[in-house]
Structures are given as C-alpha cells and as structure tokens.
Structure 1
C-alpha cells in the first residue's frame, strides 16, 4: 500500500470522526474583546483582568455534538471577585449553554468550580465543587462532552457532572442548536466570592488565567445551514458514523460512574437540586437524574 494512499485513508477516517482539531489557539479561536489583554508565549495564551477590562475569546465556528477541551492554569494568589469561565453556548433568548465558571478565592481558600446548564434560555441549575488539586499551580484539562444522550463535564477526564437526556419524561434537552465555544475572565465581585462579601483587591491586578491544549472534536455547523439540517447532518446515519453516537459514549461506564459518585461525595458543596429555599419543589429533572 502506498504512503499516499495511507494518508488518504487516515484523512478520510478523521473526516468521518468529525472535526479533529489542532491544539493551536489561532486555528480554532479568536479574541472577542480587549485584544490588548492577551499575550502569547509559545503554545500558551494568557488573558488578563485589570481595573480597566476583562477579556474573552470565542471559537471561529459553531458545532453540534462532540467534545471540547482546554487546559487552564487559573489566577494565582488572591483572586477574590474574579471569574474565569469556559463554556459552550448558542445564541438568542432561547439559547442553550454549558458552563464552567471558576470563582476566585482569597489566599489560602480553595477555588470553587460552578457548573450550570441552560436549556431553551432557562438556567438556575448551578452546582459547585472544590477541586482535589490546586488549579493555580499547573495546567489541568476541562472538557465538555455533548451528544444526544448526555452532557458531561470533565476535569482531567474525571466526570464531575452529567446532564442526561430525559425527553421521554417531557423534559427538554439541548440538541437542536449549534453552539460556539467561549472563555472569558471578568470582575464579578458582586457575587463570585462568598456571595459577594469579599471584593476584588485591585492592588493584586492584573489577574491572569493561562491556557494551552485547545481541542475541538465535533461536527462543524455553517451559519447558512438550518438547525434541523445540522441535527441530521451531525447525527450518525447510513453514510457517516460519529464517535459520539457510539453506545459506549451514550452513558458513563462503571469506572466513570464511580468517579462521579466520589466527586459528589467528597467535593460537591452546592447542588441546586437540594436547595429547598430556592426550589421548595425539586426541579423536575432532579427527580429523575441519577447523578
């Protein structure tokens, strides 16, 4: 078999798997505001917050289903009042969104990770956890896996949250809107640290979050294609088989289920499903979610 033919076969296999990204920021993403708050050092992107502005970036394309990953080293030292976010979102008032929000801390206190899921413009599904490592000392991977059966939030490939498709129970699931990939750093001292009691200390600015290892493996959705057609095009059929539609990815495996149980038992500090003050009657999906 010729070398050229082997290359053609490999490229064809990658195309069948979806969009397999490189790890270069500028091939996948672009700054969306405050470009003077970005610095580049080799493969590492740094984004800063000061008392003039935060900063943010967005993917150049939108996707439906797949997995997105970025490696982040969070703001060191006293980061109280700051929020660093990594998320996927569609557009419009009835948008869908999957959020990682890293809530700054006072020196010596643990970072809190808040996750949230919006479906058809409705959020208020917050969970918060402490991490089992110091996320300011080194890069760690944060991923969102999305298919027609579930949304999985992963930290260093450990699942920390699952949002399952419960359409058979009459609960809407986000699967009909293409989503962009975003990150930002901004001042949120009205709520981010201890409910807003601890404010941002600007004498410690600039606050810098560092990024590397950008990966997007998903189905690209051109803006010119209708949502229904994107759903059909990005789902497995007779012509294509996408990895995210394989049965092995439709739910957590046994090891992942045990990991999630461990995270919830040892690191979760808030779950909206248990907040009877906010929700005297548990939200309907909480009555059905196993996790």
Structure 2
C-alpha cells in the first residue's frame, strides 16, 4: 500500500510541476509547421519540431534583440539523419542585407565515420561566408546538450555545453553585426542540397518524420527599443580568457572540418581581412 501511495504521489508531483512550469514556447515564440509541446519528469517544457516531405518546422521569437546571451538544450535526430538541418540562430530577416548568427547541425549517415557537423556562421550585411565547421565529439542524439550564443559589441561567442569553440571578434574597419535587431529562431528543414557531404547524401524519407527536441531555453538580452535584462553585465563585456581560448584551439585542432580562412578556392583574390588578425 505504501509503495502504491508513493507511486501515485510521484505522478501527482510530476503533473503539478508540469502545470506550474513556465511555458517558454507559448509565451515567447510563434510557431510554424508541426510543433508539439510536452513536459519532462522535472517539469521542463520540451518542444518537438518535425520534418516530413510536406514541410519542416520552427519557432521564432516575438521580441527582437540587440545583443544578448541565448542558450537552449537540443536532442538531435537519431540514426540516419543525412540531409536534415537543425538550427538555433539569430537573424534580422531575409533581405539581401540581413545579419545573422548561426548554429546549424547538419545530419549524417548513421555509423562510424559520419559525425554530425556543427556549422557556425556570421552574416553581416548579407555576406555569410564566414563558416567554421566542427565534427561533434559526442552523439548529439543520445541526450540533450546545451548550445549557446553570446553576442556583444566586442565579439560573438559560440559554446557547446561548457566549452567555447569559437570567437568571432570585432575589428576596426571590418563590418560587424551591431545595429540590426534580430529575432531568435529554431528550425528543422530539408537541406539535402548542401548539408551532408556537400549534398551528395540526400534525405531518406522512409525514416520520416524526423524529430528534434528542444528544452530549457534561456535568454538574457537587450530588447530592441527597450532596456537590457538584469544581469546583462555578465555577458555584455564577455570575452574569452586564456583557458577558454585553449578550448577554442582544442576544438580547432581536433574537430574543425572547415575554416573559411583556409579556403583559397573560395577566396581567389585573398582571404577576408579578419583572417589575418586572429
């Protein structure tokens, strides 16, 4: 009887937690496509985006931001996810001169030797040829991992769990995304034309629908036309210290699969100016 009572109590507590948890998707975002919501055992809202042959899915913030720290936990597609792209990014819009800060996860063929590639990129005034790509050193479909973007007047930082993997610095005389407010987006879409081995491996639709899970969204940011949230001093002047630069170099040395500053074919007239300043 005691065991049964405890089991019932656990269910009641879990439901109570779910009911009282802050529904960040419902309060902060618009959605598109097949988007489902639920709660895990700890009461956190879990959002599932689904991709099939008819359409992808996504959510985008109501607010626009000018600088901030943004993070989310994601659990990616298990098995053969070749051709799919799962994203967490900021964008000022779709126009020719838009700004954007990207974390894009390019699906893979299942099995050893086919890691999921994380593409980090910064677009400024419509120019987006600033990619650093990394082969993830863990299985991103086995569990949730935390992905973070810090954007301030001095640099844009990319972080995976507790490790910084990239700093895109601001340099005098070089365009930087500093004046265009951006919305926060998460999307799942068909990227067959470029995502897996440069488009050589298409989506196997027999595995559809493909699902990506998001939870534990966090933002501490300056709202466009309004004030910064409390605690902005924690990220507004944030730059990497020596140890954190060490993790960037570790990621570059062991897991970087593409660096635009080494792609002479793409830049026959010379590399972008910032490449010589790091």
TM-score normalised to the size of structure 2? 0.85
| Contact 2:84 2:192 (8 Å CA) reproduced | yes
In structure 2, the partner of 1:282 is 271
Equivalent pair of 2:221/2:232 in contact (CA under 8 Å): no
**Separation in 1, partners of 2:122, 2:81:** 25
1:144–1:153 contact (8 Å) kept in structure 2: yes
Alpha-carbon distance between aligned partners in 2 of 1:64 and 1:126, rounded to the nearest angstrom: 22
Q: After superposition, where does 1:121-136 map in structure 2 within 5 Å?
A: 121-136=126-141
Counterpart selection for 1:220 from 205, 218, 223: 223
CA contact (8 A) 1:81 1:189 kept: yes
Aligned residue number for residue 54 of structure 2 = 52
Deviations 1:205-259 (A, max 9, x none): 01100010111110111xxx4xxxx6xx6599xxx9733334xx1x201221111
Contact 1:59 1:180 in 2 (8 A): yes
Q: 1:235 to 1:142 in 2, by over 3 A?
A: closer
CA distance in 2, matches of 1:119, 1:147: 14
Runs (5+) with no aligned partner, structure 1: 1-21
Aligned with 1:195 (options 186, 194, 198): 198
Cα distance in 1 for partners of 2:220, 2:178 equals 17
Determine which of 105, 127, 152 is the counterpart of 2:157.
152
Aligned to 2:253, what secondary structure does the other structure show?
helix
Q: Are residues 1:39 and 2:58 paired?
A: no
Contact in 1 for aligned 2:35/2:47 (Cα 8 Å): yes
1:147-173 alpha-carbon deviations (Å, 9 max, x no partner): 10000011113111111010x2x1011
Cα pair 1:85 1:184 within 8 Å, conserved: yes
Distance (Å, rounded) in 2 between the aligned partners of 1:94 and 1:159: 28
Equivalent pair of 1:64/1:234 in contact (CA under 8 Å): no
Given candidates 250, 265, 276, the residue that maps to 2:253 is 265
Is 1:24 aligned with 2:24?
A: yes
Quote the Cα distance in structure 1 between the aligned partners of 2:98 and 2:203.
30
Partner of 1:181: 184
The answer on whether the counterparts of 1:79 and 1:105 sit within 8 Å (CA) in structure 2 is: yes
The answer for the alignment partner of 2:73 in structure 1 is 71
CA contact (8 A) 2:60 2:186 kept: yes
What does residue 242 of structure 1 align with?
A: 233
- Give 2:122's aligned residue: 117
Contact 2:220 2:232 in 1 (8 A): no
